A = this chain, B = another copy of it.
């Protein structure tokens, strides 16, 4: 090793992966797509491909067991991986789960975790087919790989968005982030005064979105029923702004996204205002909603119009037009991703 020392946070999470893997070649014809999307694509047959996605969750970085019950954590870990398969327009079928735990955890705690994993496997119709269990020196680490399949011509990459396509978000955004803010606030109150009961009243919806998010497998089904194959798709795990940037960068396009169109639940907005936060900022930069963001051709608009699960929030422009957020006054603000950078 040379004596040079470059800190990890200089490249950002995605820059770091790109940097570390830039010299790797593809050697097998079965490898159809490698690093750079929500899942990799491996050949199954002439007409079908397999989708493979993997994620690692670290205690103290990705989750806090002080307010995240282990059963919910297990469920969420599976849901977030199934969401990656959804983001490729595929159906998840198998998962592997590896865990490392310190002796701080009794078997009963792991039973709770696996109860949540089991519940998610049932909800999403996936089979747990393997994994690894090991001790750790501190805390809990969970690594999940999800395996799914899709018809080759229906696989949706980040890179397929074209000028004039419509940008669509499912569900509503920012709720998981506001749920986290409420949980963090009550944790601080509890730490300061352990006698005071946490005040979570009226926050069921946003806390549920943080603790028990769902992968939008239903949306993948709706798209099939509607006979719509999106031109690009990604799941919203790091915040809307970051995901828009990913689609635009991968597709070589620009985008206009409209503040007033972004779907935000009333309870999310109210809580954001309570916290002196702008609701749209929470949607743009808050993570973990696990909704889907996709683009469709203009001619598919009639098929999705009025669908209660889908909201058109903008449209794709030429690359040179840039990536802009149009606020309620009509001002255009250039978007920058402020999603999670785990190394900051």
Seen from chain A, the residues whose Cβ lies within 8 Å of a Cβ on chain B are: 1-2, 4-11, 13, 16-17, 19-21, 23-28, 30-31, 33-35, 39-40, 42, 44-45, 50, 52-56, 58-62, 70, 93-94, 96, 98-101, 103, 105-112, 114, 118, 121-122, 125-139, 141, 143, 145, 147, 149, 342-343
The 8 closest A-B pairs by CB, nearest first: A40-B129, A143-B143, A5-B106, A56-B98, A34-B129, A6-B107, A40-B130, A31-B127
Give every chain B residue within 8 A of A125 (Cβ-Cβ).
Answer: 27-28
CA distance A20 to B116 in the complex (A): 11
Chain B residues lying within 8 Å of A24, measured Cβ to Cβ, are: 118, 121, 127-128
Q: Which of B33, B39, B52, B131 contacts A35 (CB 8 A)?
A: B131
- Which residues of the partner chain B approach A121 to less than 8 Å between Cβ atoms? 24, 27
Query: Which chain B residues lie closer than 8 Å to A25 at the CB level?
Result: 127
Pairwise interchain contact B61-A8, C-beta atoms closer than 8 A: no
In the bound complex, how far is the Cα of B132 from the Cα of A25, in angstroms? 18
Residues in B neighbouring A61, C-beta threshold 8 A: 100, 134-137
A149 to B45, CA, bound (A): 13
Instruction: Give the distance in Å from the alpha carbon of A126 to the alpha carbon of B35 in the complex.
Output: 14
Beta-carbon contact of A134 and B19 below 8 Å: no
CA distance A13 to B343 in the complex (A): 32
Q: Could you tell me the distance in whole angstroms from the C-beta of A109 to the nearest C-beta in chain B? A: 7
Most buried by B among A53, A93, A98, A129: A129
Known: A109-B1, A127-B34, A143-B143. A58 touches B133 (CB 8 A): no
The reply to whether B28 and A126 contact each other, CB–CB distance below 8 Å, is yes
Query: A179 → chain B, closest Cβ, in Å?
Result: 22
- Which B residues are in CB contact (< 8 Å) with A138? 137-138
Contact between B60 and A131, CB atoms less than 8 A apart? no
19 contacts between A and B (CB under 8 A): A8-B105, A10-B107, A11-B107, A20-B133, A23-B118, A24-B118, A24-B127, A27-B127, A30-B149, A31-B93, A34-B128, A45-B45, A50-B50, A54-B131, A54-B132, A56-B132, A56-B134, A61-B134, A61-B136
Asked if B40 and A96 make an inter-chain contact with CB atoms under 8 angstroms apart, the answer reads yes
Hey, which chain B residues are within 8 Å of A133, CB to CB? 13, 16-17, 20, 342
